[in-house]
Amino acid sequence: MSSDYQLNDEEKNILQRHKQLAEMERQKGDFFWRDEYVNYSIEKKVQYWLANIHHGMRQQGEAIGDNYTEFSKEWYLLVKEREPDFDFILKDVVLKLGFDFDWKEYHKRISEPFFLLLFVSVFGIKAKNLTLRGG
């Protein structure tokens, strides 16, 4: 199906502004990790990850009833890229979360790809019943 629709000038301007804002956000994130976070003390890193993880787990728990969808293999690899000492920091974070943290569930989640975890979470499918096929 093809379309001959052309963006008008206002739509082009909106699209261009959206692209600019997205680039500004990307640069802001790059700056944070490159120039700000690296100078944090270990205590400040713990505070950062405590706020981030607590918020994410609470948000996921409220949205779909599963706090641990916050975590995935992809998430973990990105976090470790940004913070090589994350595993050490997480031990302090967990002590301050204010609720019991299920280490077994966490390790299960960070060892599986997100899409597989999403299927299991959304559809209630047991991972052992899934057959993955290459395309």
**66-90 residue pLDDT tens:** 899 889 899 999 999 999 999 999 9
Say whether both 26 and 6 belong to one domain. Answer: yes
Say whether both 28 and 64 belong to one domain. Answer: no
> Sorting pLDDT into bands at 50, 70 and 90, what band is 130?
very low
The parent domain of residue 23 ranges over: 1-39
Say whether both 91 and 65 belong to one domain. Answer: yes
Given a contact cutoff of 8 angstroms between Cβ atoms, the answer to whether 89 and 42 are in contact is yes
3-state secondary structure of 128: helix
Say whether both 46 and 32 belong to one domain. Answer: no
DSSP letter (8 states) at residue 35: I
- pLDDT at 122 > cutoff 80: no
Say whether both 27 and 53 belong to one domain. Answer: no
Say whether both 107 and 85 belong to one domain. Answer: yes
| Residue 134 in domain | no
